[in-house]
Structure 1
């Protein structure tokens, strides 16, 4: 996920969340990367001051209330919100990774195995949302984040209660993404049914497999005409043959002709199993293929200043100070820098463990592992490199939350790899 620095006009804190950078924006507001006091990363959505009015606050409050009811392993969870604040905001789970739109633009379409895995995962997630009496209504490639633990759905801002007249939009107003919108939604029909999300999911899977959406036009009016014209069929060019029947059904013009989400899961599983894989294996391949390298939150922050100990002109530490080897300085006082401590000083040995023999006895009795160079051999041992940038001190206390978690995980992996049991 692309993270831009804050602008001079951006807030630096909201509701206890420290804002670290920009991760997205829309017509209604800005989305920031934030961090809770305990170090939990979050996506913090803030309404623009220029559009804050009573109607916007009401819509935002309705969005928060709906998000409180949504749960699921593949749904970005709501963490906190305050629609009554001067600048209304909400915080959701932060997912490190590209959205599907950016991933396909950067790396090309997914193969059929991974597209089918994505389809099974998202269809199951949407089925959970539907069981809660809700529809997403705006599923699109940009609302599917490909995180390190698999894909997740975000942005339920247009979510509406299924089989209900409740809406966050004015009557006769069509809101959503036209290129992924089913005909009935584009025509403003109500009530909407779960079939709208089946169609949108079909558009998302079509994009994942081919790199394009069902309909494309430079003019939005032409695009709406293509979507609503029953004689105009979606463009399935570039789709692998094994996915064409499923996507054709999901993108059917009539809502009643589209499969239920449970059937979508079954057909995706059939595509996966026909290639000799189990669905869990395909999921792991999908995650491995799409997960971006983790960007440490510490890398967004300026380096901390190391604690210092003042010294007198004679080179002696002042009262109460701990003596350390002096450094050079100017003026009447010299400063000695204490070595940094904490998880950011963990050697990268855990990142690159020493190669192990493939099997016991691979090294013969006459062979010995190469020893490290010593001073006796005329070579000074190299200091261990350190991993990660130094953490930033905020309010006089360093916070190493993200780095600490990652370092701990690497240590566990290194230990597990070398353990004899």
Structure 2
């Protein structure tokens, strides 16, 4: 993932989080890579000063309350926030990985069994969200991050309490991303139900499996027309046969015809089990497939390789086949998807994850690892007038690289010691 240095006008810290660099931005907000005093990485979202007003603060406060309400292994964890600060900010767990949109555009669609695993994981996560009386309302590939521990859902800026009568939008005003929006949501129907997230998940899985969305057009307004037109069926071209019944149901025009999230999980399990695999195996292979594409560590030449014990023989029935060999992703031509225009939105936590930059990219623009980011030169800043450290900054911390180097030296010495 790429990071850019902080600008001179950027804050050095927000709350207890030290800011290390920029990792994304949107029309209303900026997202920074931050670190807690205990070293926990965080994605810190800040509303731009130019758009801070009473309504944006109210939206931001609602998003904070939503994140305080929900939790789960597939939801980026809430770490802290302050909606009343001069620069309102929100910190969530930093997921080190690309979003689904970037992964598919770079590496092509997912195999059907991995698409089904992704569907089961996300449907289960959304079901937990719905149990709290919430709707996401803006699920899309850019809001699913593929981290080293599996996919996680981010950006609940448009989430709404299903039974809430408080609306932050004008009557008949539509919020969301047209290419993944359910017909009733695009038509401005209220109140919305859990079926809108089922449709959005279906659009997301269609993109994961084929590289295109149910409806695509040159402008958002044309997409709205296609989505709301009962006579225009979603484009299911390229969908593997085993996924066709599932996606046909999830993308039904009538909300009552769509399956429940529990039904989605069961259908995804059926697809996986029909290929002789268990759901847990498919989930592991999904993570190995996506993480393996983006997290390929470079070989280290600092120290000689220490002797490693021979691997133990696997237990009978253990799944040991490499994910990349068993479910290869052939090169597929992905049609360029239209820009996911948001008609009305709040600052997104979407992090534009990109592939590791080529060697020609200056080191200052590369994503700093846990071992090296403390050794990156900080961007130049005007000195404080008082000559004292800037308010809110933290003293330098010990280098993680130094500790790891010492550990490796001790290990190497112990391996060669005669006692």
Question: TM-score with structure 2 length normalisation?
Answer: 0.74
Query: 1:57 Cα shift?
Result: 1.0
What is the aligned partner in structure 2 of residue 280 from structure 1?
A: 280
Separation of aligned partners in 2, 1:124 and 1:40: 27
Separation of aligned partners in 1, 2:54 and 2:196: 30
What is the aligned partner in structure 2 of residue 369 from structure 1?
A: none
Report matched runs for 1:95-110 at 5 Å.
95-110=95-110
Separation of aligned partners in 1, 2:191 and 2:85: 33
Distance 1:47 1:403, change over 3 A: farther
What is the aligned partner in structure 1 of residue 257 from structure 2?
A: 257
Q: For 1:392, which of 358, 369, 375 is the aligned residue?
A: 375
Aligned 8 A contact 1:62 1:168 in 2: no
> Size of the alignment, in residue pairs?
336
What is the aligned partner in structure 1 of residue 307 from structure 2?
A: 354
Gaps of 5+ in 1: 297-344, 361-386, 415-421
Query: 1:388 Cα shift?
Result: 5.2
Query: 1:42 Cα shift?
Result: 0.3
Aligned 8 A contact 1:39 1:402 in 2: no
Gaps of 5+ in 2: 314-369, 377-392, 413-419
Separation of aligned partners in 1, 2:259 and 2:154: 23
Distance 1:165 1:407, change over 3 A: farther
Query: 1:55 Cα shift?
Result: 1.5
Separation of aligned partners in 1, 2:55 and 2:187: 24
Deviates more, 1:16-25 or 1:71-80: 16-25
Distance 1:62 1:396, change over 3 A: closer
Give the secondary structure class of the aligned counterpart of 1:175. Answer: coil
Report matched runs for 1:216-227 at 5 Å.
216-227=216-227
Structure 1 outlier segments of 4+, above 6 Å:
402-408
What is the aligned partner in structure 2 of residue 47 from structure 1?
A: 47
Query: 1:106 Cα shift?
Result: 0.9
Distance 1:239 1:58, change over 3 A: same
What is the aligned partner in structure 2 of residue 22 from structure 1?
A: 22
What is the aligned partner in structure 2 of residue 8 from structure 1?
A: 8
Give the secondary structure class of the aligned counterpart of 2:56. Answer: helix
Query: 1:40 Cα shift?
Result: 0.6
Separation of aligned partners in 1, 2:3 and 2:373: 19
Provide, for residues 233-282 of structure 1, a one-character-per-residue CA deviation record: whole Å limited to 9, x for no partner.
11111111100110010000010000000000000000001111100000
What is the aligned partner in structure 2 of residue 201 from structure 1?
A: 201
Deviates more, 1:68-77 or 1:192-201: 68-77
Provide, for residues 341-377 of structure 1, a one-character-per-residue CA deviation record: whole Å limited to 9, x for no partner.
xxxx99655xx553655799xxxxxxxxxxxxxxxxx
Aligned 8 A contact 2:18 2:394 in 1: no
Give the secondary structure class of the aligned counterpart of 1:91. Answer: strand
Report matched runs for 1:244-323 at 5 Å.
244-291=244-291, 293=294
Separation of aligned partners in 1, 2:402 and 2:371: 8
Query: 1:170 Cα shift?
Result: 2.7
Query: 1:211 Cα shift?
Result: 0.6
Provide, for residues 107-135 of structure 1, a one-character-per-residue CA deviation record: whole Å limited to 9, x for no partner.
10000010000000000000000000000
Give the secondary structure class of the aligned counterpart of 2:27. Answer: coil
Distance 1:214 1:359, change over 3 A: closer
Report matched runs for 1:12-411 at 5 Å.
12-291=12-291, 293=294, 348=303, 352-354=305-307, 356=309, 389=372, 391-392=374-375, 397-400=396-399
Distance 1:9 1:177, change over 3 A: same
Aligned 8 A contact 1:160 1:168 in 2: no
Aligned 8 A contact 1:70 1:129 in 2: yes
Query: 1:403 Cα shift?
Result: 8.7
Separation of aligned partners in 2, 1:153 and 1:402: 31
Distance 1:169 1:244, change over 3 A: same
Query: 1:59 Cα shift?
Result: 1.5
Distance 1:357 1:152, change over 3 A: closer
Aligned 8 A contact 1:39 1:399 in 2: no
Query: 1:22 Cα shift?
Result: 1.5
